[in-house]
């Protein structure tokens, strides 16, 4: 190269290097702020979910304790009613069955809102109860292999809600006849796997049309648990939900 050319080349090279340096600064700053922002969002989400669950637990307890005991009292009173009139007896029987239905519905609503059994007996019993309820009201057969229990109350609720929403989706959308649930623990993770043999769906389409509320909630809860969510499906291929959540109880 001509000496003049060498100087021009060096000038150009310097310019390019400066621009690359600036891009580098931008990348580092982006990574830094994304990290900060992600942590903040997660903390906010965690607080929001906690408040939501606390409110649900309060309402569920109120329903169960106040309304539930009132209904039980009414039922007892009706039971003691005696009449010789044929018509009145029929009305009394009818009232009894309405009350029974109301009690049933009430316990269903309060169970959905916050199963007391989740706090009392732990995750596996709550899931068992949930699956029994589904088997009772639908034609789905559920195989449940869940013996793992979660010590921390907030975390336990997250696990339960995730499984609940997945089962909701299966009941609502899948047309499945058989479902497999497995919750297991290895040395580092708690693994939740749920498969159904239903119609599946086009994942890319659902995601493109901005993913539904339920899936979003599942994902948020898994993020709060610092885990990962996987979903594999295809049309007529059933759905496989799988979650991999760090086991904080084993490694502090």
Partner 1 sequence: MLNSFAFDLVVSFSIILPAITGLIKLNQVRWNYLPFILLIWIGLFNEVISTIFIFSTHSNTINSNIYVLIEYSLLLFQFYKWNGIERKKCCYLILLGIVVWIIDNVILNSVWTNNSIFRIFYSFAIIFLSINQISKVIINERMSLLKNTIFLICIAFLIYYGCKAFIEIFNAFHLGFSNAFNRNIFMILYFANLFSNVIYAYAILCIPTKQEFSLLY
Binding site for ligand ADP (CB under 6 A): 169-170, 172-174, 196, 198-201, 206, 212-215, 239
Q: Determine how β-strand 141-146 pairs with β-strand 178-185.
A: parallel
Shortest gap between Cβ of 95 and ligand ADP (angstroms)? 37
User: From residue 180 to residue 219, what is the string marking binding to Mg ion with x (rule CB under 5 A)?
Assistant: ----------------------------------x-----
What does DSSP assign to residue 227? -
What token pair was written down for 220? Answer: 């948020």
Using Cβ positions, the residue closest to Mg ion within the complex turns out to be 214
> Which of 18, 23, 73, 235 touches partner 1 by CB under 8 A?
23
- Binding site partner of 174, from partner 1, Mg ion, ligand ADP, none, Cβ cut-off 5-8 A by kind: ligand ADP
Q: 7 vs 250, which CB is nearer to partner 1?
A: 7
Q: How far is CA 11 from CA 7, 30, 114, in A?
A: 6, 29, 69
- Binding site partner of 59, from ligand ADP, Mg ion, partner 1, none, Cβ cut-off 5-8 A by kind: none
What token pair was written down for 149? Answer: 């229990």
Q: Does 20 bind partner 1 (CB under 8 A)?
A: yes
Q: Does 169 bind Mg ion (CB under 5 A)?
A: yes
Q: Does 211 bind partner 1 (CB under 8 A)?
A: yes
| Largest CA-CA distance found in the chain, in angstroms, rounded | 122
Where does the chain show beta strands of DSSP type E? 141-146, 178-185, 189-196, 228-233, 239-246
Number of Cβ within a 10 Å radius of residue 119? 13
Distance CA 227, CA 220 (A): 10
What token pair was written down for 60? Answer: 């569920």
For residue 94, count CB atoms less than 10 angstroms from its CB and return exposed for 0-12, middle for 13-18, buried for 19 or more: exposed
Q: 90 vs 207, which CB is nearer to partner 1?
A: 207
Q: Can you give the length of the chain in residues?
A: 252
Find the binding residues for partner 1 in span 167-206 (CB under 8 A): 203-204
Interface residues toward Mg ion, by CB under 5 A: 169, 214
Interface residues toward partner 1, by CB under 8 A: 1-2, 5, 8-9, 12-13, 16, 19-20, 23, 27, 30-31, 33-35, 38, 41-42, 203-204, 207-208, 211, 215-216, 219, 223, 228-232, 242
């Amino acid at each position: 190269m001509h000496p003049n050319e060498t100087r021009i080349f060096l000038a150009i090279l310097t310019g390019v290097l400066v621009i690359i340096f600036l891009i580098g600064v931008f990348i580092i700053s982006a990574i830094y702020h994304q990290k900060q922002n992600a942590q903040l969002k997660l903390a906010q989400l965690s607080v929001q979910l906690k408040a939501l669950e606390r409110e649900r637990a309060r309402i569920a307890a109120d329903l169960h304790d106040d309304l539930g005991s009132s209904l039980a009292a009414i039922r007892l009173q009706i039971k003691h009613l005696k009449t010789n009139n044929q018509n009145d007896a029929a009305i009394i029987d009818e009232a009894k069955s309405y009350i029974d239905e109301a009690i049933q519905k009430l316990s269903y609503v309060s169970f959905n809102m916050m199963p007391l059994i989740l706090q009392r007996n732990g995750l596996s019993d709550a899931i068992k109860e949930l699956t029994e309820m589904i088997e009772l009201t639908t034609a789905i057969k559920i195989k449940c292999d869940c013996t793992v229990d979660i010590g921390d109350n907030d975390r336990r609720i997250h696990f339960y809600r995730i499984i609940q929403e997945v089962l909701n989706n299966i009941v609502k959308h899948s047309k499945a006849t058989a479902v497999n649930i497995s919750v297991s623990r290895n040395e580092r993770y708690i693994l939740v796997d749920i498969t159904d043999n239903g119609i599946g769906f086009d994942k890319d389409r659902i995601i493109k049309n901005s993913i539904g509320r339920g899936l979003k909630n599942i994902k948020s809860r898994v993020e709060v648990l610092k885990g990962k969510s996987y979903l594999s499906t295809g049309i007529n291929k059933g759905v496989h939900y799988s979650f991999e959540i760090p086991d904080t109880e084993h490694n502090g």
